[in-house]
Structure formats: C-alpha cells, structure tokens
Structure 1
C-alpha cells in the first residue's frame, strides 16, 4: 500500500468512526447540544462533510455543487455548519455526507499526492498546498471530531469506543467502571494534594 492509499484508508476509517456515533440514537439525541458551546453529533457530521467537500473540491479545481450549501455561504450565520435546523432532516444531512465522501474519494483517486491546490482561507503564506498536505490536515480534523463524537456518545448512553464491543475498550460492568472512576478520582486528588472524598 502506498502513502496515498494509506492516508485515504485512514481518512475513510475516521469518517466511518464519526458516522457510527449516530447509530441507534433518535433525532433528538443526535441533534441536542451536549456541551456549553452546543456541540452535537449530527452537527459534527454536517461540519465534517462541509469541510471535506471544500478541501477536496474547489481547492483542487474540482468544485462540487455540494460546496454551494447555505450554511457555507459567506453571509451564513456563525457555526451554521455545526448543527441541523428543524427543516433539515437527518436523511438530508446523511445524503450530504454521502455526497461529500463520494466527491472526496473521487478527488483522492484522480490526483497524485503532489497535485497542487490553493486553500484561499489559509492566507498567503500557507495557501499553496499539495494533496498530501490536505489529506494529512483533513485526516487530523476528521479524527479530532470523531474523538469529540466518541465522548459525546459516551455521555449520552455510555457507549464507549468506535463501535459496540470495540476491542480497544476494556470490558467492565457498570459497577466496575464506577470503581475505576473512583480510583482515578482518588489518584487525581492525591496528586493535587486534595483531601480524599468521604
């Protein structure tokens, strides 16, 4: 497997990880704000799809009609790509996601890693890029948001890891997790010089 195939495989894997955090949740739980800044699962999916179509579309002279969405317009309200309004169905967001992924994959397949592009929003010192640089950047961004989504999902219903039964997550009962958390809290209190909990 060459470098492009490796980067592309990891990008697709991170996209799958993010999308899987919606599995089994109702429309309220995928949309509701779960942090003080309003971060929500469906909004993360919409944001990543928007970012992906921008970086692997017009940046390389391969624009897509998907780039012409109202939430990405210059006059859109701030953070419009980070949540879905009541008029946007989950199916609409997932269709946009699928189109974004297909367009991105086609761009990666069509271009060599040293293909030149321009990222106008990066400013004059950084705007001239290669597909290699954009794939690394995009992989970092998608993986970061997939991690955000993992934490949000764990807070919603306790599901931890990339999927149910993830081998990277230690198998514990709810009671064992509670004991583990208590142990970690005690270690943190000791390291900080705080009194133990009663």
Structure 2
C-alpha cells in the first residue's frame, strides 16, 4: 500500500499515538523535586528531565529542520546550535540529555509544550507524503516523508516513555500508564512476586550465557 492509498484518518491515528507518548513522558516528571527529576539513575546518566529535553530536541529536528521549518526561537534552546556546529565535541552533543543548573524543570517542560505546537503545525499543514530530508541519517536513507517521520518519532518517544516508567518507579515508587490508570492488577502482592522472581533468578549461574 502506498502512502496515497492509506486511509484518510491515518495521519490522525499516528498523531494520536505521538500525543499519547508525549503526555506519558511529561507526566513522569510531574510531582518530582528538581533534585529527583535530574538525578542520573543508570551508569550512562539517564535521567527523567534529560529525557524530556531530548524529546524536545528530537521533535524540533524531525518536524522542523527535516521539512525546512527551522525552530523560530533558537535562544530558548541554545544547545541546538552548539550541537550542529562543525566542531561540535562530545560535550556539546550530550547537552540535550540533561538540564543544566540554570535550566529549571518548569522551563524544560514548558519548552517541550511549545515544541508540541510547533511540531503539530508541521503535521497539520503537510500531507503524509510530503517530502523531507534528514541530513544526519546515513547516506541513502535521508530522503523521507512525513508519514515515515511520524512513525519514527512516535516510536522513539514511546521508547523513552518506557525508560521514564522505570526511572520514575526507582525515584519514588510511582507507577502508571497514564493519570488515573496505573495498569497494575488490583490487590496483587508485587513484593512477593518480586521476591519469587529474584529467587528463581538466583538459582542460575552469574556467568554470561
């Protein structure tokens, strides 16, 4: 099936999944202190606020530059220019994955919500088969359509929302698929369940398979 043969509501469906992934990611930062939102929780430094900042960067790039629509407020996201510079080093490239001490959580989340409006304007204006160019992808794969980018970004954000689920549970024990729906079984003894799984795992050797 070609893009032109897709159902008329295909863009709306993809856009809905994108919006749900956005909301899930932002929700995982709500209610946390600045300290907890920033705290790295993996050996490679993954942190909740950094995931939101990265998501904003992702949407600016894919729904902006790819379709010839540069982000109109570069001063709000100065790390973008530093990362795009020809002499960008590893520190500049890593800047989108954490909030600096002078970037409060409220500002990062607020920026991301502004990015939603910017990205949605691209999605609403263009057709699914509108052409774009991802200059940072591998040569031969750089020419894309809005359809491909919608799938790509919704998938990436969903993956990061999953990361955020785990980080938030580690931060304060909060879990949930969305506000008002934790997607967990009522009355289930998760502590006993976890102990059972640990007991099974510990019966096996530590050596890699």
Q: Scaled by the length of structure 2, what TM-score is found?
A: 0.84
Residue matched to 2:159: 144
1:161 aligns with 2:169: no
Distance 1:94 1:168, change over 3 A: same
> Matched residues in 2 for 1:171 and 1:159: separation?
15
User: Aligned ranges for residues 2-21 of structure 1 at < 5 Å?
Assistant: 2-21=9-28
Q: Match of 2:141, SS?
A: coil
Match of 1:185 in 2: 198
Q: Which residue number corresponds to residue 121 of structure 2?
A: 106
Give runs of aligned pairs for residues 1-198 of structure 1, distance below 5 A: 2-66=9-73, 69-72=77-80, 73=82, 74=84, 75=88, 77-163=92-178, 165-172=180-187, 176-190=189-203, 192=204
Q: Secondary structure at the match of 1:117?
A: strand
| Residue deviations 1:127-174 (CA, integer Å, cap 9, x gap) | 00000000111011100000000000001111112245425222347x
Distance 1:193 1:91, change over 3 A: closer
Instruction: Tell me the matched-pair count.
Output: 191
Deviation at 1:186, TM superposition (A): 2.7
My pick for the range that moved more, 37-46 or 92-101, is 92-101
**Distance in structure 1 (CA, Å) of the matches to 2:165 and 2:186:** 17
Instruction: Give the gaps of 5 or more residues in structure 2.
Output: 1-7
Structure 1: gaps spanning 5 or more residues: none
Residue deviations 1:33-73 (CA, integer Å, cap 9, x gap): 11111111111000001111110011111222245632222
TM-score normalised by length of structure 1: 0.89
Cα distance between partner residues in 1 of 2:145 and 2:73: 22
